[in-house]
Structure 1
């Protein structure tokens, strides 16, 4: 049992080191040797858990995406009205991005790099199913604009990454008023105005 826990701890240390190094140095300036050193394991140990750097980054992405979406959808229920459901999800996403900056920054990097392969990206999208289903219901009910989910995400969710980075640099403080204004702007960008 202790051996299994040691194995889990080593794998988790590799994931944590990958996130930290990618956030600080970018994908290409994060060699496996640095990841191993930061995780306090031998470079050969990495290959017990991951095929190569691509596999390590892809698996890290999928794990972080799963944790992110589990948090985002924890208080959402399928029977919520569309606007209430969107507000619940959006505010949980905002909360995650502000409280778990390291993982949120890693996901933002992944969204803007070709380093993540397409199967891993598709796996990450599957974790967003509740949001995509909510948007589909909203489109059907005439509440959400009938546009691409990519556009909905770009206008309603992606701005949170910009706000998170601004808050991290202390350029902007996301207080309760700003958060409510940001939510209103997100909702107004995707809702059908009647």
Structure 2
């Protein structure tokens, strides 16, 4: 990734999550990235294009992390547990990307084409869920509902971890939250 483009993305992640879309002019993003405003537009046609690229970049980063050490030979629960841990660790290591994704995943600024491109990145994980449904390990519900449930529990758990839970180690919180997740999707 180009150094200037990467700095623009990093600055935009931070500014969009702290100031919002409308209160983040491209001139501020460029200034924070240490580039000229014209340079921003050399990489992104519009502010809307930038936010769509951020959406895809955050999904790509998450998917890359989610894939680590997932063994297709493992049972469905073990695969989902690995994906869960990877997702949680990614969110804790990348709070700006996580917060951006959480804030903008349902935003009207994200184009339907961008959403579909992002969804395609999740095909390997969707396949695991479909296999779990087909083999009667997971509840026979729509994949969209299952993904929404998983996403919601991840988001809630990360929020608790970001705030800090007095007297509870983060590993314990993550494991208990996974048990709640597993109980909600398994047969």
Aligned partners of 1:14, 1:174: CA distance in 2, in Å?
Answer: 35
Deviation at 1:174, TM superposition (A): 5.5
Task: Kindly indicate whether the alpha-carbon contact (under 8 Å) linking 1:11 and 1:49 is maintained by their aligned counterparts in 2.
Answer: yes
* Residues in 1 aligned to 2:156 and 2:106: alpha-carbon distance in whole angstroms: 13
User: Which residue number corresponds to residue 139 of structure 2?
Assistant: 145
Q: Which residue of 1 aligns with 2:176?
A: 181
1:179 is displaced (CA, Å) by 1.2
Partner secondary structure for residue 158 of structure 1: helix
Question: How far apart are 1:122 and its partner, in Å?
Answer: 0.8
Please list, as runs of the form range in 1=range in 2, the aligned pairs for 1:83-94 lying within 5 A after superposition.
Answer: 83-94=77-88
Any idea what SS the aligned residue of 1:157 has?
helix
| Aligned counterpart, 1:96 | 90
- Give the structure 2 partner of residue 190 of structure 1: 185
1:52-111 Cα shifts (integer Å, max 9, x gaps): 011111112111211110111111122221111111111111111122211111111122
The reply on whether 1:122 has 2:116 as its aligned counterpart is yes
Matched-pair contact (CA < 8 Å) for 1:20–1:102: yes
Give TM-score scaled by structure 2 length.
0.93
Distance in 2, matches of 1:174 and 1:59, equals 35
2:73 maps to which residue?
79
Q: How does 1:1-194 map to 2 (within 5 A)?
A: 8-170=2-164, 175-192=170-187
TM-score by length of 1: 0.89
Counterpart contact for 2:55–2:105, Cα < 8 Å = no
Aligned-CA RMSD value: 1.6
For residue 171 of structure 1, report the CA deviation from its aligned partner.
Answer: 5.7
Q: Is the CA contact 2:161–2:170 (under 8 Å) kept in the aligned structure 1?
A: no
Give CA-to-partner distance per residue, 1:29-72, whole Å, 9 cap, x none.
21111111111111111111111011111112111211110111
Instruction: Provide structure 1 residue ranges, at least 5 long, that are not aligned to the other structure.
Output: none
Taking the aligned partners of 2:183 and 2:157, their CA distance within structure 1 comes to 17
For these two proteins, the number of residue pairs brought into alignment is 186
- Pair 184,171 (structure 1): closer, same or farther in 2 beyond 3 Å: closer
